Amino acid sequence: MEPLKNNISSHQYFVLSGFSEMGALRPVVVILLLLMFAVSLITNSLLLYVIVSHRNLHSPMCLLIACMACIDLSLPLCFAPSMLLSLLLDWSGISLSGCLVQMYFIHFLGTCQSTLLLWMALDRYFAICLPLHYHENMSSLRFLKFALPLLIRNVVMVSLVVGLAGSLSYCFRNEINHCLCEHMALVEQACGSTAINSLVGLMTVFFVTVLDFLLIAASYVVIFHSVLHSGKSGAKALHTCVTHIMVLVVSLTFVLTAFLSYRIRTSSATSRVFVSIVYLFVPSCFNPIIYGVRTTEIRQRILKMLSAWSKL
């Protein structure tokens, strides 16, 4: 990073101006955000409660779904309240340290979402391709041996990204053209070279999101190949995996679009806000349905519980 001149000071306070271009659409955006926030909190809380409170749902797959619900419950809390305050009350200010903390949790929880989907794919691989050794392979010890390196990777990569962003000096302007503290949204306000920040950000996307997606796709290919060559009906495997793959493809597309939009100077702030809201909010709303309600045991427990509540 180039040294700053003595008469230039680094900003320690920023204004998130991503909603300033919304104009008459602001009330619509408020309603949509409130709706998605409520759906995310209610569905993930319900799913988490059902799994934790019923011991027969403490299978490896259900526990992974519970972990996903925890992440989907936590992620909107990192950015949705500040978004709503900005839209409703024009409270759009944030300190540099607050911005870095928000950035860390948004990106760390995002990497954990990706990694959990990889663990779920591995669970399906053991259940369908190696059913006789399923419980052995998904035992706590073996699972930790597989999970810990990936968690360490996520912590290291995100800490490196946020640490490098925090080491920059921000002397150009204190207006972040976004509605939340994404990595490049903050970094592009820095003075001096930010090439290393951009490179590390792209490496993080590749070594976490893209790599996890490739491993997930490979595991599903092996599942399909195993089912087809075993002579058994592939309906169960297809039912289990095809929806997951479609969701992953859509999610990866929006994640890559969000990160690459900072390399495309023609992209507007409104389009960046839309893409970010989609890849951050939509999974939290739909994951409980895709990975929870579509699981037979969980669906039966939820229906039974809702039926009991309706009789009160």
pLDDT for residue 1 is more than 50? no
Domain that holds residue 183: 13-310
Reported confidence tier of residue 262, pLDDT bands at 50, 70, 90: low
What's the CA dihedral at 131, 136, 142, 144 to 10 degrees?
A: 80
Q: In this structure, is residue 194 part of a structural domain?
A: yes
Q: In this structure, is residue 5 part of a structural domain?
A: no
pLDDT for residue 158 is more than 90? yes
Q: In this structure, is residue 8 part of a structural domain?
A: no
pLDDT for 178-229, tens place per residue? 888 888 888 888 888 888 998 998 899 889 988 998 898 888 888 888 877 7
pLDDT for residue 35 is more than 80? yes
Q: In this structure, is residue 223 part of a structural domain?
A: yes
- Is the sign of the CA dihedral 68, 207, 144, 100 positive or negative? negative
Q: What would you report as the CA-atom Rg of the chain, rounded to the nearest whole angstrom?
A: 21
What distance in Å separates the CA atoms of residue 264 and residue 28, rounded to the nearest whole number?
A: 27
What residue has token string 């526990």? 63
What distance in Å separates the CA atoms of residue 179 and residue 254, rounded to the nearest whole number?
A: 17
Q: In this structure, is residue 218 part of a structural domain?
A: yes
Give yes or no for a contact between 66 and 51, defined as CB atoms under 8 angstroms apart: yes
The total of structural domains in the chain comes to: 1
Q: Which residue has the higher pLDDT, 9 or 257?
A: 257
Q: Where would I find the H helices in the chain?
A: 26-53, 60-89, 96-129, 134-137, 140-166, 183-187, 195-204, 211-230, 235-260, 269-287, 296-310
127: domain CATH number is 1.20.1070.10
Q: What pLDDT is stored for residue 2 in this prediction?
A: 41
Reported confidence tier of residue 4, pLDDT bands at 50, 70, 90: very low
Q: In this structure, is residue 251 part of a structural domain?
A: yes
pLDDT for 99-126, tens place per residue? 999 999 999 998 998 898 888 888 888 8
Secondary element (H or E) of residue 13: strand 13-16
